[in-house]
Amino acid sequence: MGALIEARDAYMRGVAKERARIAQDLHDDVSARLLTSLHRRSADMMRKDVREAMADIRTIVADTAQTWRPMEEVLADIRFETMNRLEAYDIALDWPVLDAPQTSYVIDYATARHLLSIVRELLSNVAKHAEASRVSVEVEVDAGRLKLRISDDGIGLNAEAEWGNGLLNTSRRAALIKGDFHIRRGEVGTIALVEIGLVTGGRPSL
């Protein structure tokens, strides 16, 4: 009997955790997309955002937690979405395209979603606070670590600025994927650094 109750409790904890993940992903990802959509000038672009938001909802609620994809593919998706979003704000993006997969690094579904949410929040911040005209994203893979350096040419992060939910969530997400997150004022604008550990393939990518 005790074992049964324990099993049920473990199951309920799993359900609660999954529910929290879905709520957070819906809030952070789908809301960011719809917010971008409000800034579109063309109805066609708006429709595209809405279709992408619907696709996002499908992925978020689907049980895809075991999916591993090549690192380059995950980054290409994030780059594509970033380009698309910044266009709505008239901010230029400087993010060189990587060639076809050059490494055997893979990224799991949960890590990919956290990474995407982190980049989304940092760009929402640039759009909301930075008064920037350009964002640069530098990607480096070094000793099994993926490093993203996201910088803008705006007014720069005020050292006194209080961290809100956005930066706190970003930092928490980075910790969840055993990564690091730093943000500071640069000589020009703001510089954010996101770093995560990578694993090599061996698992089939779907």
Ligand X SMILES: Nc1ncnc2c1ncn2[C@@H]1O[C@H](COP(=O)(O)OP(=O)(O)OP(=O)(O)O)[C@@H](O)[C@H]1O
CB of 168 to Mg ion, least distance (A): 10
Query: Looking at beta carbons only, is 118 or 126 nearer to ligand X?
Result: 126
Q: Which residues pair with 180 in a beta bridge?
A: 195
Between 67 and 125, whose beta carbon lies closer to Mg ion?
Answer: 125
Q: Identify which of residues 72 and 152 has a Cβ nearer to ligand X in the complex.
A: 152
- Residue in 39, 64, 166, 193 binding Mg ion, rule: CB under 5 A: 166
Distances from the Cα of 132 to the Cαs of 74, 81, 152, 177, 191, in angstroms? 26, 18, 6, 29, 12
Site for ligand X in 144-173 (CB under 6 A): 152, 154-155, 157-158, 161, 163-167
Q: Is 105 within 8 Å of 201 (Cβ atoms)? A: yes
**Among ligand X, Mg ion, none, what binds residue 36 when CB lies within 5 to 8 Å by partner kind?**
none
SS3 at position 78: helix
Asked if 179 and 194 touch (Cβ cutoff 8 Å), the reply is yes
Site residues (CB under 6 A) for ligand X, limited to 90-129:
125-126, 128-129
